[in-house]
C-alpha cells in the first residue's frame, strides 16, 4: 500500500469517528465538535462566533503574547484576567441595582485589613504550593528546604506566573465581598419560600422517601457522620488548592481560563442569581420556618445525639448561621438551593480530569461523598445538588468554548495524520511541563 493511500485511509477513519472530548466535561457528558486536523473549521467558527468580544477587548485571536519579555508577560496576564474582570463588572452592576432598589436590605461592601492580610497569605501559599509541586514531581533533592527555596525564588522571578496569581487574587477580593453582601441580604430580598416545594421534589424523586431516609442504613453509624463532616470541611482546602493552582499556572492558558471563568460564573449565577429564584434555608432549618410538621426532625435529632458523643462541626456552624439570621450575631448568609458545595466539587473534578485522570477519578469520588454529606448533615435537599451539577456542567461546557476562542488555540496545534488525539492529552502534557 502506498504512503498516499495509507494517509488517505487514516484521514478518512478520523473523519468517520465521532469524538467526544473527555477533558471538556469529564466522562464525555457533553459532545464537543468533531476533531479537525487542519483546525480551519474550528478557527472559522470561533472567529465568527466571538468576533465582537475579541474586537471589544482588542484581541485578534493570535496565539501567544504580542510582545516578549516582561512586557509580553504583563500583556498575557492582563489578557487572561479580562474575562474575570468582565464578570466582576457584571456583578458590580448587579450589586448596584440591588442596592438601589433595596437600599435598606443590602449590606455595604468594604475591604477590611483582615481581607487584605488573607489575600497576602493566599499569595504566599500559592507560591509555596507551586514550588512544592515542582520539587516533588521533578526532583529528589538532598536538601528539600534549600530546593524548595530555590523553586519559590524561580516562581517569584517568573513575571507571567506571578502576575497571573496576583491578578486572580486581586479580582477575587471584591468579587467575594459583593457575593457575600448579596448572599447575606437574600432572606430580606426574597424570603425563604421554596423549602416545602424542594422537599416535595425530593419525595417525588425518591419514590415517596426523603433522601436521608434512603441513606439511614449508613447514617446510623456515628463514624459515617464524622467522616462526612470531615469531608465537608476538606472541601474548603481542596477548593483553595484548585484556585491557587490554576491561578498561578501559565502552562495551560485555555484550561486555566476555562476553570477560572467557570469558577466565577458559578458563584455569581448560582450563588446569587439562582439563590434568589430558589430562596430556601435547607433541611436543617426546616423546623424553624413554621412550615408545619418537620419531616427532618429525626435526622437532626440523630445528628444531635451523635454530637453529644463526638463533636459535629456542621451543627455548630448551623447554629451560628441561624443566630446571624435572627440578628443576635454577625450575619453570614443562609442559602440552600442551589448547592455551591456540590457545584464546586464537580467543577474541581472536571478540571482535575483534564490534568490527570487518576486525580480526576479521585475528585469525582469526592464530589459523590460531598453530595451524600450535604444530605446526611442536613445542609441541602437532594435536588439542590442535582440542580448545581446540571448548571455547573453547562457552565463548564460554555466556558470551554469561550476559552478556546479567547486564547486563540486549538486543542492540538500540530496533529499528525492518522493519529487519534484527545484534547486532554495536550492539556496534561502542558500542565506537567509548566511545573518543570
pLDDT at 362 over 90: yes
pLDDT class of 53 with cuts at 50, 70, 90? very low
Which whole number is the average pLDDT over 45-58?
A: 44
Contact of 299 with 282, CB cutoff 8 Å: no
Read off the pLDDT of residues 86-124 as tens digits, 9 standing for 90 and up: 999 998 888 888 777 766 555 555 555 555 666 666 666
Q: Which residues contact 211 (CB under 8 A, 6 or more apart)?
A: 202, 205, 375, 381, 382
Average pLDDT, the chain: 75
Residue 37 confidence (pLDDT): 43
pLDDT at 335 over 50: yes
Read off the pLDDT of residues 140-176 as tens digits, 9 standing for 90 and up: 666 666 666 666 666 666 778 788 888 888 899 889 8
The total of structural domains in the chain comes to: 1
pTM above 0.95, yes or no: no
Q: Residue 171: inside a domain, yes or no?
A: yes
Q: Residue 184: inside a domain, yes or no?
A: yes
Residue 35 confidence (pLDDT): 39
Q: Residue 408: inside a domain, yes or no?
A: yes
Q: Residue 329: inside a domain, yes or no?
A: yes
Q: Residue 13: inside a domain, yes or no?
A: no
Least confident of 126-140, 184-198, 214-228, 245-259: 126-140
Query: Domain range for residue 280?
Result: 23-435
- What's the sign of the alpha-carbon dihedral 205, 272, 98, 90? negative
Q: Residue 3: inside a domain, yes or no?
A: no
Read off the pLDDT of residues 219-248 as tens digits, 9 standing for 90 and up: 889 999 999 999 998 898 889 888 888 888
Contact of 329 with 402, CB cutoff 8 Å: no
Residue 287 confidence (pLDDT): 87
- The pairs formed by 223-231 with CB atoms below 8 angstroms and a separation of 24 or more are 224/376, 225/303, 225/306, 225/310, 225/312, 225/376, 225/377, 226/306, 226/310, 226/312, 228/369, 228/372, 228/373, 228/376, 228/377, 229/312, 229/313, 229/314, 229/373, 229/377, 231/366, 231/369, 231/370, 231/373
Q: 3-state DSSP call for residue 392?
A: helix
pLDDT at 250 over 70: yes
Residue carrying the nine cell digits 453530595: 371
Q: Residue 2: inside a domain, yes or no?
A: no
pLDDT: is 109 or 183 the higher one? Answer: 183
Q: Residue 9: inside a domain, yes or no?
A: no
pLDDT at 332 over 80: no
Amino acid at each position: 500500500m502506498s504512503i498516499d493511500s495509507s494517509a488517505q485511509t487514516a484521514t478518512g477513519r478520523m473523519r468517520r469517528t465521532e469524538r467526544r472530548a473527555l477533558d471538556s466535561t469529564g466522562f464525555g457528558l457533553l459532545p464537543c465538535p468533531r476533531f479537525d486536523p487542519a483546525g480551519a473549521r474550528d478557527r472559522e467558527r470561533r472567529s465568527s462566533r466571538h468576533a465582537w468580544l475579541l474586537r471589544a477587548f482588542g484581541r485578534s485571536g493570535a496565539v501567544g503574547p504580542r510582545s516578549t519579555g516582561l512586557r509580553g508577560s504583563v500583556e498575557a496576564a492582563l489578557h487572561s484576567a479580562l474575562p474575570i474582570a468582565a464578570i466582576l463588572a457584571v456583578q458590580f452592576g448587579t450589586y448596584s441595582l440591588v442596592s438601589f432598589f433595596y437600599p435598606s436590605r443590602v449590606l455595604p461592601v468594604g475591604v477590611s485589613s483582615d481581607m487584605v492580610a488573607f489575600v497576602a497569605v493566599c499569595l504566599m501559599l500559592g507560591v509555596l504550593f507551586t514550588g512544592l509541586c515542582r520539587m516533588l514531581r521533578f526532583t529528589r533533592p538532598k536538601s528539600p528546604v534549600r530546593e524548595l527555596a530555590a523553586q519559590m525564588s524561580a516562581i517569584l522571578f517568573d513575571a507571567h506566573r506571578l502576575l497571573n496569581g496576583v491578578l486572580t487574587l486581586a479580582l477575587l477580593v471584591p468579587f467575594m465581598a459583593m457575593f457575600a453582601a448579596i448572599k447575606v441580604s437574600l432572606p430580606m430580598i426574597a424570603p425563604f419560600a421554596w423549602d416545602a416545594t424542594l422537599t416535595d421534589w425530593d419525595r417525588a424523586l425518591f419514590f415517596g422517601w426523603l433522601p436521608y431516609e434512603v441513606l439511614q442504613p449508613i447514617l446510623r453509624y456515628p463514624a459515617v457522620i464524622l467522616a462526612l463532616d470531615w469531608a465537608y470541611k476538606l472541601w474548603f482546602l481542596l477548593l483553595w488548592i484548585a484556585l491557587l493552582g490554576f491561578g498561578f499556572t501559565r502552562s495551560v492558558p485555555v484550561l486555566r481560563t476555562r476553570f477560572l471563568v467557570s469558577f466565577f460564573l458559578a458563584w455569581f449565577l448560582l450563588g446569587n442569581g439562582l439563590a434568589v429564584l430558589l430562596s430556601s434555608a435547607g433541611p436543617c432549618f426546616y423546623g424553624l420556618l413554621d412550615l408545619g410538621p418537620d419531616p427532618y426532625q429525626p435526622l437532626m435529632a440523630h445528628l444531635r445525639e451523635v454530637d453529644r458523643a463526638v463533636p459535629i462541626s456542621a451543627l455548630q456552624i448551623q447554629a451560628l448561621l441561624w443566630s446571624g439570621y435572627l440578628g443576635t450575631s454577625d450575619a453570614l448568609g443562609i442559602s440552600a438551593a442551589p448547592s455551591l458545595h456540590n457545584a464546586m466539587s464537580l467543577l474541581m473534578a472536571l478540571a482535575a480530569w483534564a490534568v490527570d485522570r487518576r486525580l480526576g477519578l479521585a475528585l469525582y469520588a469526592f464530589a459523590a461523598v460531598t453530595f451524600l454529606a450535604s444530605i446526611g448533615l442536613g445542609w441541602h435537599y437532594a435536588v439542590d445538588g442535582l440542580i448545581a451539577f446540571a448548571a455547573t456542567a453547562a457552565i463548564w461546557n460554555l466556558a470551554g468554548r469561550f476559552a478556546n476562542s479567547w486564547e486563540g488555540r486549538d486543542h492540538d496545534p500540530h496533529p499528525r495524520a492518522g493519529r487519534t488525539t484527545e484534547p486532554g492529552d495536550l492539556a496534561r502534557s502542558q500542565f506537567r511541563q509548566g511545573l518543570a
